[in-house]
Structure 1
Amino acid sequence: MQVTFLGSGTSQGVPVIGCHCAVCRSVDFRDKRLRVSVHLQVQGRSIIIDSGPDFRQQVLRDRIDHLDALVFTHEHKDHTAGMDDIRAYNFKQRQDMPVYAEPRVLEQLKREYAYIFADQKYPGVPQVKTIPILSDTAGFEVEGIEFQPIRALHYKLPVLGFRVGRFSYVTDANHLSPESRERLRGSDVLVLNALRHEPHISHFSLSEALEVIEDVQPKRAYLTHISHLLGKHREVEATLPPHVKLAYDGLRVQL
């Protein structure tokens, strides 16, 4: 499996519009963070988790010429706002795009992208095939690849992380139940959000993320959904345990 971080930033991205802090002015490419998303290449399949506002830019940069499916963690716009751009894959692949999400998320997509789901469609709109994720405990297949859902809370909003083999991915969370943590154990790679140093109402802080990592004991961990308030990549990563790294846009991880 190859995992590519298409984006590692929070909802505003880094740099933040109008901000002149040291992180936003940094010339280190690792401090330029588009909205969070990952690309999985596994068993010949190409799958993306979340298509935020930067989706087009991300797939062009990483030359993702084929996409088998799109999977959503939850309905917030920094995770869904790029869905219109899947139509390029419709045209190229000549088939509807499978879109996997919880029923609540699919209903939100139908409201926000009403033109995609209209009875009488405008020519050229994206063509999708929606597949509901009906359980937060039972595994399901995404185009033949086994996904295990991982329930998390994003403040009071239930969201999903996913485990694919020995790769686990959880973003936009500030609570994982003991049962969810148990499902993360044995991961070779765990990706977890870490917004900033200070506590936040809906995201793990750096210390909280490190506590989860210490508890579930993955072989390697990468932190994502990072804001400019966390600090410069080079400086923060120097303080982390050896098996924990900050993700950055374009990073490729092999499992």
Structure 2
Amino acid sequence: MRTILIDCGKTFYEAALNWFVHYRLRNIDAVILTHGHADAMLGMDDLRQWTIGGKKYSVQDHIDVYLNRNTAKVVEGTFPYLFDKRKATGGGDIPSLQFHIFGDGPEGYEPFMIEELEVIPFQVEHGYGGDGKFMSLGYRLGNVTYISDASGLPEKARKCIAGTDILVLDALHYDSHPSHFSISESIKEASSLLSPGSHLYITGLSHRVDHDTLNQELADSSILKEHGILAETAYDGLRIVVDDLTFGASTINSVTACTEGAIESDKRARQNLPSHLGDIMSSRETTTLLPDTFSRLERVILMANGNVQRILSAYYNSTVTVDILSNEKIDVDANMNSRETIFKREVNLVCLNQICCNAKSTVTITSSEYLRLIEEQQVGIGQLFR
């Protein structure tokens, strides 16, 4: 999973305290700025909390920031020490940022890559400046287009937006405004650009607009119904699953795409476990040997399910819960001197209030000694598979 922050405005710090913690976000892999207004860049100094303190306290050694030349001039004028550390005063604790500044080309801005993700910047009108129209930026990231501040869409912008599945679009309130779309203008623009089945999220609303009332109006909108567009108002903490992975039976077949996240999840899970429990974590077999049965085993998440659970949880950055459909216990005589207890289980894995997949597993319990080690460490088997 990668964390890309679009804009770092004057309320960023308070928002990060809420939502970075809520969604367990830590690193910032990139910051992308849309324009040089306070609501888009005045929180840049607060990025110091990620990079100061050395290896002992910092989250990362630097943060990459992508912006155009006009925005860079404003940021440098506001925070000169972000570009030249010699201009810092006081204690000198400033964020470590690496700026990637792009300029205008004959056909607009060139796309750039944030690791494997292509980002396409394009200009949108955002009111007026001293010498004409003031231009902000929108961004297309895969099948998602983000336009936070706009009053008009040039033709090049329309070409970039066309075919997007999810459009986050600016609207201030019901009345017209020189630098922002009104609600009706935003709906009209989306209807002309999006295909049936696409999603529109209206963002940037003022407090004059009631959230629930507007949601109902969007649901009742004849123009949106005519074009088959699903629309709702955005809100703080909104989470949208935008990857090609979809919920349903196909998810488990696509889960190999999440391997990197699963490995990181495994590493985090191992940190607080005794070393002699690590072998279970590394197993990828559908039939796994575990200690002899005990009462808490009825609550355990089995290995085959646990592996998928960790992968999905790491990928969607959300808790994956387990609904047990069946749990069959079978006692078997392995030989004259020993017995095995086999648990066959079928569960549904549930994430974001939807069923991710159906999973089945078989676990054979053989080792009473292993059980003793687990109990002495006060670690339940279930903790291995969260």
Normalised by the length of structure 2, the TM-score is 0.53
What is the aligned partner in structure 1 of residue 361 from structure 2? Answer: none
Q: 2:84 aligns with which of 115, 118, 130?
A: 118
Q: Distance in 2 between matches of 1:114 and 1:180?
A: 31
User: Does the aligned pair in 2 maintain the 1:99–1:131 contact within 8 Å?
Assistant: yes
What is the aligned partner in structure 2 of residue 15 from structure 1? Answer: none
Q: 1:168 aligns with which of 130, 145, 156?
A: 145
User: Does the aligned pair in 2 maintain the 1:69–1:142 contact within 8 Å?
Assistant: yes
What is the aligned partner in structure 2 of residue 153 from structure 1? Answer: 125
- Within-5 A mapping of 1:96-245: 96-120=62-86, 121-122=88-89, 123-135=92-104, 136-155=108-127, 156-218=133-195, 219-229=198-208, 231-240=209-218, 241=224, 243-245=230-232
2:236 pairs with 1:249:
yes
Q: Which structure has the larger Rg?
A: 2
- Residue 142 of structure 1 and its aligned partner are, at CA, apart by 2.7
Counterpart residue identity of residue 125, structure 1: I
| Identity between Structure 1 and Structure 2 (%) | 30
User: Does the aligned pair in 1 maintain the 2:62–2:97 contact within 8 Å?
Assistant: yes
User: Does the aligned pair in 1 maintain the 2:9–2:42 contact within 8 Å?
Assistant: yes
2:44 pairs with 1:83:
yes
Counterpart residue identity of residue 253, structure 1: I
User: Does the aligned pair in 2 maintain the 1:103–1:133 contact within 8 Å?
Assistant: yes
Q: Which runs of 5+ in 1 are unaligned?
A: 1-43
- After TM superposition, where is structure 1 displaced by more than 4 Å over at least 4 residues in a row? none
Counterpart residue identity of residue 8, structure 2: S
- The structure, 1 or 2, with the larger RCO (C-alpha pairs under 8 Å, 6+ apart) is 1
User: After alignment, is 197-206 or 56-65 more displaced?
Assistant: 56-65
CA change 1:59–1:238 in 2 (3 A) is same
- Residue 96 of structure 1 and its aligned partner are, at CA, apart by 2.0
Q: Which runs of 5+ in 2 are unaligned?
A: 53-57, 128-132, 219-223, 243-386
Q: Distance in 2 between matches of 1:252 and 1:159?
A: 25
- Residue 75 of structure 1 and its aligned partner are, at CA, apart by 0.2
| Residues paired across the two proteins, number | 211
Q: Distance in 2 between matches of 1:188 and 1:217?
A: 7
User: After alignment, is 108-117 or 90-99 more displaced?
Assistant: 90-99
User: Does the aligned pair in 2 maintain the 1:51–1:79 contact within 8 Å?
Assistant: yes
Deviation per CA, 1:77-107, whole angstroms, max 9, x where unpaired?
A: 1111111111111132342211110011111
Higher helix share: 2
What is the aligned partner in structure 2 of residue 40 from structure 1? Answer: none
Normalised by the length of structure 1, the TM-score is 0.78
- Residue 119 of structure 1 and its aligned partner are, at CA, apart by 4.6
User: Does the aligned pair in 1 maintain the 2:26–2:59 contact within 8 Å?
Assistant: no
Q: Distance in 2 between matches of 1:69 and 1:119?
A: 20
Q: Distance in 2 between matches of 1:107 and 1:49?
A: 18
User: Does the aligned pair in 1 maintain the 2:27–2:60 contact within 8 Å?
Assistant: no
- CA RMSD of the aligned region, Å? 1.5
Q: Distance in 1 between matches of 2:161 and 2:70?
A: 24
Q: Distance in 2 between matches of 1:217 and 1:144?
A: 25
CA change 1:118–1:178 in 2 (3 A) is closer
